[in-house]
Every structure is written in structure tokens, then in C-alpha cells.
Chains A and B, each alone.
Chain A
Amino acid sequence: MTLRRPTVLAAAIACAAALAASLTACGSSELPDKPGGGAKSGGDLLSRAPVGQDLPSTPTLERIRKNGHLTAATSDTDPGFSEKNPLNGKYQGFEADLTAMLAKYLLGKPEVKHVSINADTREALLQNGTADAVVSTYKITPERMRKVAFGGPYMNLGQAVLVRKGMKGIDKAADLDGRKVITTAGPSVESLKKVAPHATPVIFQTISQCLQALRDGRGDAFINNQAVIVARAQKDTALEVLPFTFGSASYGIGLPKDDPKFREIVDGFLRTVEEQGLWKQSWKDNVSPLTKQPVPEPPKPGGAGGDPSAATPPASTPTASTGS
């Protein structure tokens, strides 16, 4: 019963190595091969970004100044919005630009410390002061407004649907009802439940996993915000985007609830970058190449933070809507 240890160990290591190889092989196909669009916009945009003048003193702002950086909870896997470049470790995308500009507006220099995020912990990060702001496709809802405040909205986005080529029978959002729908935890599930209450959400952690699951036939469709969907569909000819969107909603910057003055500062920041055309510039650099749609008019910030009744987005907000 004695083990000849070295042999066993070597065999175990060989098994592990083979496993690792197969895993990397599957992962590498998903690596973002984004052209330098986001990286390019970063420097140019930041040098033009404003620095806030005569900002009132608020607890959050004082904390940010004391730390010397803005601690922002962001995603690192959202192409076009906030994606960590694996080569240089920099964050790029529309939301990454906004975060850096916000840091410059508050501090005079674009120092951002990124805290990784998942949908479960966003409120807790703000409540316990781990993060000063959440900039991560954070949908403004009345439920969340009981726990956190929102600066903005800074964008309106709809949900788009990706299916395997040749999939029939889904012509509108309601056709998703009763089907298995792959998605990530977050705004997509909420939008799905509204239009198709009997759909079964099949939730995965990352967009890459969702795509793999869709290819493997683990669901009939994959829904996510339209920029993600369009970007991924271009890379995979076996999948196609359906020509409709649904569940357009307003997204805001999550902020601590107990600091209303700080929320006003952030709204002021958003107004400034929108007036100066930086919002449109960043959208043009990061999101338009994915959606192939013209840059929309930015939403009007303010009013999202305090009053829950203002949370519901206006019926016809300008969105980067694809198709009907």
C-alpha cells in the first residue's frame, strides 16, 4: 500500500499541467483584442478634463483628498466601458475615462485606485467607505436609492439580445418568456424579468463565460447591454444580434448616501464634462466603435440622487438604440 511518491507526484503534476493547458486554450480565445481606441482617448481626454473650482468641503471629498486618490469600484471586464488592459494594466473605456476625469476634477490629478466589484457588494462598498464611488453600469433603481445615492444619470442604455445563428422565434423581447436566457447578474436580469417574467435566467460571472455557455447551447439567448452584445457579436460569426433592444434604463455613479453635497459636486462634474464635449468624445472613442451608432445626446445629470420618484427614466430618452 506504500506510494512510490515521486512517480505519483510527477503524474499528478502532469495531469494538472494538461488541465491548465486546456483551460488557457479555452480562455485565450476570449482575450480582448481591442484596437488602441480606449488607450488613445485616455491621455488626450484627460489633459483637457476640467479641475473643479471652489468645491465645498464634504466628508467624502475630504477623505479622497487625504488619501490622495479617488477609490472607485469599477469592472475590469466590460469592453467599451471599463476594461483592464491585460498588457499594461490600465483601465480603458467610457466609464474608465469618466472615473479618471472625476478624479482629476476632485484632486487636480487623475489618481484612481480601482477596487474590483461584483454585483453583490456595490452597496456595501459605499456604505463602509471602501469605495468613494461606483462607476460600473450601475442602474438607478428606487430599491438601491434607499441604501446609496446616485450622481447622474450619465448614460442610458438598452438591453440587446445575442443568439446562435439560425435561431428562430425571438422577434421581440416578450418572446424570451419561458426560455432559458443567459446573462450576468445585474441590470440585465431586472430588465429581463420586466419583459419576460417566465424566462429562466442562467447567470454566469463573466461575459466570456456567458458567450461560451451560449455556444454550448446552455440557453436560447444571451442578453446584456447593447454595447457589450454588439462588440462580442462582431468577433464571433456563429452568433448574431437580434434587431431590437428593450429595457432602456438610466445608469448613475453610485455614491455614499450620507453625503448629499458630494452628490451635487459629482452632478456638477458630469454637467461640466458634458458641456465641454468630453462626454461625447469619450463615447465616440469607446462605445461608438462597438455599436456603430452615432453618439447620443448625454442625459441631463441631477435629480437622480435624492428623490426616488425621479429614478424612473423618462419614456423617450435618447439612447444609442440599435434598430427599432
Chain B
Amino acid sequence: MNVVADHFGEILTGFGRTVLLTLVSFAAALVLGGLLGLCRVAPLGVLRSLAACYVHTVRNLPLLLVVVVTVFVLPQLGLTLSLNTSVTVGLAAYIASYVCEILRSGMETVPAGQVEAARAVGLTTFQCLRLVVLPQALRSMVQPLGNMFIATALGTAVGSVAGVNELSGVIRQLNVQYVEPLALFASATVLYVALTLAGGLITGRLERRLRIHR
């Protein structure tokens, strides 16, 4: 048990890095996934197929593989990012494929009749999205996006195999040296649960606030 107390600073630093990785990757995934989602319903066939191709490829790969590609394959193609950035990019690219599908399915909850009605009153595609589809779609997306936040937080652990000293990496190194798996992994559990619970609480709040009382 002393190990955790003696190395609390190190563990907290690792946790800080995990939180940062989570927030930045998730924000990037929201932006990229949002763009992809819009492409998925775009009137242009090329955009639709490109986005579909991206989603079907990336979503069907293990996260570990995606991160290995950003860490080890990109440098061979002449693009060397820092390890933190590489892991962030890999994680964001992966989560974005899910965000895209959440957005698309969210938009599909809006009945086609409403879209047709919007067209009939002369709204452009963009206006139709902004005024009719998205306000309704976003509400139904809050909980699934909350799940993706949790997936992102847990996904940051792949950083530990790619040279990033986030929470899992710090815990593993301490365990290799001090052989106290119970205490160390228990402390990691507490911190991960704290992070994901915080995410869950925020999405719960958001969902209640955005709910439409009919």
C-alpha cells in the first residue's frame, strides 16, 4: 500500500496526462466526427462514399492498430508527430468514426416528413439541417456521445504501449518495479472510474436540461 502513497505524485501526473489526452482527443473526435457525419448525409455522392469508406475502415480496426499506425507508420511516410500528438490523433480518428455514426443515426430519428416539409417551404439543405434536423438530432445524441466519452477515456490506456506515460503506463512501470499489483491497479481503477463517472454525470445533466417536455 505504501507504493501508492510514495508515488502519489507520479500517479497524479499520469492521471493528469490521461485527462488531457481524453479531453483533447474527444474534442477532436467531435469535430472530425461531426464533419464526417455531415458528409454522410451530404447531397454529394462523392462525399457520402468517402465518409462511408472512412467509417467502415476505421471503425472495424482495433484501436491499438490505429494508434500503432499513427505512431509507427506515419513517420515512415515522412510525418513525425510527438508521441502525445500521435496517440491523440489515433484516438480521435478512431472515436470520430463512431461519433459520425451517432450523428447519422441521430439525424435519422428525425422523420423524413419533416425534411420534406422543410424543403417544401423553401429551406435550403443547410437551413434544413440547422433549423429542423440538428436541434432534434442532437438531443438524442447526448447519451451515446457520453458513452463515447467513456470509450475515449478508457482508450487513452493504449498510450502506455506507445511511450506515453499516462495513468496505465505509470501504474505498469511502478508495478514492474515494486510488484504491488493490487494496490496499484486499485488506485488506477479509482481514478479511471472518477473520470468516467464525471463524464456520465455531465451527460446526465445535459440530457435532463435538453429534454423536451411534450
Contacts and interface: CB of A to CB of B under 8 A. Distances in A.
B75 interface: yes
Given A12-B60, A15-B57, A146-B179, A23 B69 contact: yes
Contacts, number: 95
A227 to B, nearest CB: 20
A202 to B, nearest CB: 4
Contact of A8 (B52, B172, B181): B52
Contacts of A15: 53, 57
A186 B49 contact: no
Given A9-B56, A189-B173, A203-B169, A22 B73 contact: yes
23 contacts: A4-B49, A8-B52, A15-B53, A16-B61, A19-B61, A23-B65, A23-B68, A23-B69, A23-B73, A119-B176, A120-B172, A124-B181, A141-B177, A143-B179, A182-B163, A185-B172, A185-B176, A186-B176, A189-B177, A201-B173, A213-B72, A213-B163, A216-B75
Contact of B49 (A11, A22, A119): A11
Contacts of B71: 213
A4 to B, nearest CB: 8
Contacts of A76: none
A121 to B, nearest CB: 9
A202 B87 CA distance: 13
A141 to B, nearest CB: 8
Closest 5 CB pairs of A and B: A12-B56, A202-B163, A216-B75, A15-B57, A11-B53
Interface stretch (A88-96, A204-212, A242-250): A204-212
Contact of B56 (A8, A119, A123, A146): A8
Contacts of B56: 8-9, 11-12
A3 B173 contact: no
Interface in B48-82: 48-49, 52-53, 56-57, 60-61, 65, 68-69, 71-73, 75-76, 80
Contact of B80 (A201, A202, A217): A217
A259 interface: no
Nearest to A210: B163
- Max chain B Cβ within 10 angstroms of own Cβ: one of A144, A213, A216: A216
Given A16-B61, A216-B75, A218-B163, A8 B49 contact: yes
B36 to A, nearest CB: 14
A7 interface: yes
Contacts of B172: 119-120, 185, 203
Interface residues of A, number: 41
Interface of A: 1, 3-4, 7-9, 11-12, 15-16, 19, 22-23, 26, 119-120, 123-124, 141, 143-144, 146-147, 182, 185-186, 189-190, 200-205, 209, 212-213, 216-219
Contact of B57 (A7, A12, A204, A209): A12
A19 B75 contact: no
A126 to B, nearest CB: 11
Interface string B148-171: 000000000000111101000100
Contacts of A146: 179
Contact of A185 (B69, B162, B173): B173
Nearest to B58: A15
